Amino acid sequence: MDQDHDHMHMSPPPANSTGMSPMHHMEMMMHMTFYWGKEAEILFSGWPGARSGMYALALIVVFVMGIIVEWLSYCRLIKPGSTHAAAGLVQTLLHTIRIGLAYMVMLALMSFNGGVFLVAVAGHAVGFLVFGSRVCRGSEMVSLEKTSDLP
């Protein structure tokens, strides 16, 4: 009877190179609510890791991506008089880059790290302030004037 009882207990899964079982490692890295802390995975597996400097770099990258998304939303790079084909290709390229960066910001937000959330919103806010608002343009926007290359 003791042998049957021993077989009923399952041993825990083997530990990986970090000394944690795969399930424990997965539970530790998957957050479904916001949390604060520098130990996060943002965009890439193992990045930024547990180092404060790399976490700060990750926050700067997310912040800058938010600014660039806003810049691409309000920039005017197509020269007047460009052919429709050239203008269309430039618009498509700008749109592709803008959407790709916006998705990267969204994926960074899926880390559920509070710091990442704050810098993503701040990056978009600063980008809009500088490129989209009247504060830095210094003039009234005419409703018929085209304000950017992208819709």
pLDDT in tens, 100-129: 999 999 999 999 999 999 999 999 999 999
- pTM (two decimals): 0.74
Residues contacting residue 128 through CB under 8 Å, at least 6 positions apart = 70
Asked whether residue 151 is assigned to any structural domain, the reply reads: no
SS3 (DSSP) at 106: helix
CB neighbours of residue 27 within 10 Å: 11
In the chain, which residue ranges form alpha helices assigned H by DSSP? Answer: 2-8, 22-29, 52-74, 84-109, 114-131, 134-137
Asked whether residue 120 is assigned to any structural domain, the reply reads: yes
Distance CA 123, CA 129 (A): 10
Asked whether residue 14 is assigned to any structural domain, the reply reads: no
Reported as a single tens digit per residue, the pLDDT across 47-76 is 898 899 999 999 999 999 999 999 999 998
Number of domains in the chain: 1
Q: Quote the domain boundaries for residue 128.
A: 52-146
Mean pLDDT of all residues in 130-148: 71
